[in-house]
A and B are shown apart, each in its own frame.
Chain A
Amino acid sequence: MDFLYNYIYYIGAFGLILIGLYILLVKHNLIKMIIGLSILETGVNLFIITLGYLDNGTAPIFSKENLESNMMVDPVPQALVLTAIVIGLAVLALALSLAIRLYDSFKTLNLKKIKEQKW
Chain B
Amino acid sequence: MKKFFSLILLIIIVVGMIYTIHQIPFGKNQSKIGKYFVANGKDETGAANIVTSVVVGYRSFDTLGEVTVLFLAAIGLGAILTTTKKQNHDIEKASLILNTGCRFLFPLVLLFSAYIFIHGHLSPGGGFQGGAVVASGFLLIYLACPGKRINKVGNTISESVGGLIFIILGAIGLFVGDRYFLANFLPKGELNTLFSAGIIPIIYIALGFKVGSELNSVIDKMMEES
Measuring CB to CB, which residues of chain A are less than 8 angstroms from any residue of chain B? 6-7, 9-10, 14, 18, 21-22, 25-26, 50-55, 59-63, 69-70, 72-79, 82-83, 86-87, 89-91, 93-94, 96-98, 100-101, 104
Contact = CB atoms under 8 A, between A and B. Distances in A.
Given A63-B122, A63-B123, A74-B34, A82 B69 contact: no
Interface string B10-41: 10011001100100101111110111011101
A76 B222 contact: no
What size tier do the contact residues of chain B reach? 35 or more
Contact of A76 (B21, B31, B123): B31
Query: In terms of DSSP, what is the predominant structure of the interface of chain A?
Result: helix
B218 A93 contact: yes
A100 B18 CA distance: 39
B28 A55 contact: yes
B190 interface: no
A4 to B, nearest CB: 12
A94 B80 contact: yes
Nearest to B21: A10
B124 A61 contact: yes
B6 A25 contact: yes
Contact of B2 (A14, A25, A50, A76): A25
A75 B38 contact: yes
Contacts of B28: 54-55
A77 B218 CA distance: 27
B59 A79 contact: yes
Interface core residue of A51, A60, A72, A73 (most chain B CB under 10 Å): A60
B39 A69 contact: yes
A54 B69 CA distance: 31
B50 interface: yes
